[in-house]
Amino acid sequence: MATFAVIGAGLAGLVVARTLAQSHDVVVFEKSRGVGGRMATRRAGTFQFDHGAQFFTAQTPAFRAFLEPLIEAGIVADWPARFAELRRGQVAGSRQWDNEHPHYVGVPGMNAIGKALASRLDVRLDTAVTSLKRTGKRWRLVGDGQSPLGEFDWVIVTAPAAQAADLLASTSIASAAERVRMQACFALMLGFDEAVDLPWQAALVHDADISWISVNSSKPGRTPASSLIVHSTNAWADAHADDDTEAVRRHLLDEFREVTGIDGASAPFVDVHRWRYANVDAQEGDLYVLDPDKQLAACGDWFVRGRIEGAFCSADALANRLMPGGT
């Protein structure tokens, strides 16, 4: 039985760890306080915000099969939102999302999926892996302050591409991460005392520095307090990733008011979160990278596209390759 270190407890890390744990000893290291990565949920009093991934679809048979038990357990549900496209503040088109083409969310928040997947895994939260050192035929993991985190037969890196490139520097698979540029995004969270009067629950925004608005409280299983999410465009976030948070907040509030006519600055709750590694354009090539001789691998949505299903497909392919009898 081999020992595996999985770095990152987003969907890719949790999927590959769950599969490998059927036959091996697996430890997952996560630098943040919770699991799920961008499948994230924040609560503030009665308000609730999915400030990362908004929803996901299921196009491949493997991903649909993966979701079935989560749907049956009530951890994943369809979000039948009224969807609109906005141009210059006007509705350019709208439609009702229906059961024929489900748009899934975690219940009661997007982070419920990660929590469910991690429930039987050995996950070390608040534990950043800062370097990998080859010692004979094993890998030694080093954390903050040069703290030892253990030795393992295998290491699988599922962190965003830039972070993966740092960890994998000077290894045989570093180039796979170095060639990918991930894009940033800001999430503006707005909590209102009363329901906001909008003719839609989810909107794709064109011709603005914001790209998305959703009424988070319209999703199944959410608290009734009126909670809205506004995402910036990736291009604007990339250009302003290091700006002062207050300046970012003011600009996104101005854009939100311009698009909807609503004064978000008057909301009882206003906050901004920066996702430095939020998205990646569609990629061509392998679903993962693997050096079987060095027993080192990497996977994640950045091999496919910045979508939840992309993270699953990459991790599922790698996990099946590494399982006994895998090809």
Q: What are phi and psi of 280, to 5 degrees?
A: -150, 140
Task: Answer yes or no: are the C-beta atoms of 267 and 226 closer than 8 Å.
Answer: no
CATH 3.90.660.10 residue ranges of the chain are: 42-113+183-279
User: Would you say how long the chain is, in residues?
Assistant: 327
How far is 158 from 296, CA to CA, in rounded Å? 11
Give the fold, CATH level 3, of 3-31+127-179+287-322: FAD/NAD(P)-binding domain (3.50.50)
Q: For the beta carbon of residue 30, count every other beta carbon within 10 angstroms.
A: 27
Q: How many helices (H) and strands (E) does the chain have?
A: 8, 20
Q: What type of residue is 131?
A: S
Q: Helix, strand, or coil here: 17? A: helix
Tokens encoding 154 = 């295998």
Residue 327, pLDDT score:
63
Class of domain 42-113+183-279: alpha beta
pTM of the entire structure?
0.96
Tokens encoding 19 = 């599969």
Q: What type of residue is 314?
A: S
What is 126-185 written as a DSSP string?
T--EEEEEEETTEEEEEEGGG-EEEEESEEEE-S-HHHHHHHTTTSTTHHHHHT---EEE
How far is 211 from 230, CA to CA, in rounded Å? 8
Per-residue pLDDT tens listing for the chain (327 residues):
899 999 999 999 999 999 999 999 999 999 999 999 999 999 999 999 999 999 999 999 999 999 999 999 999 999 999 999 999 889 999 999 987 889 999 999 999 999 999 999 999 999 999 999 999 999 999 999 999 999 999 999 999 999 999 999 989 999 999 999 999 999 999 999 999 999 999 999 999 999 999 999 999 999 999 999 999 999 999 999 999 999 999 999 999 999 999 999 999 999 999 999 999 988 988 999 999 999 999 999 999 999 999 999 999 999 999 998 776
How far is 261 from 272, CA to CA, in rounded Å? 20
CATH 3.50.50.60 residue ranges of the chain are: 3-31+127-179+287-322
Of the candidates 186, 183, 164, 187, which has an alpha carbon nearest to the alpha carbon of residue 174? 164
SS3 content of the chain, % helix, strand, coil (to 5): 30, 35, 40
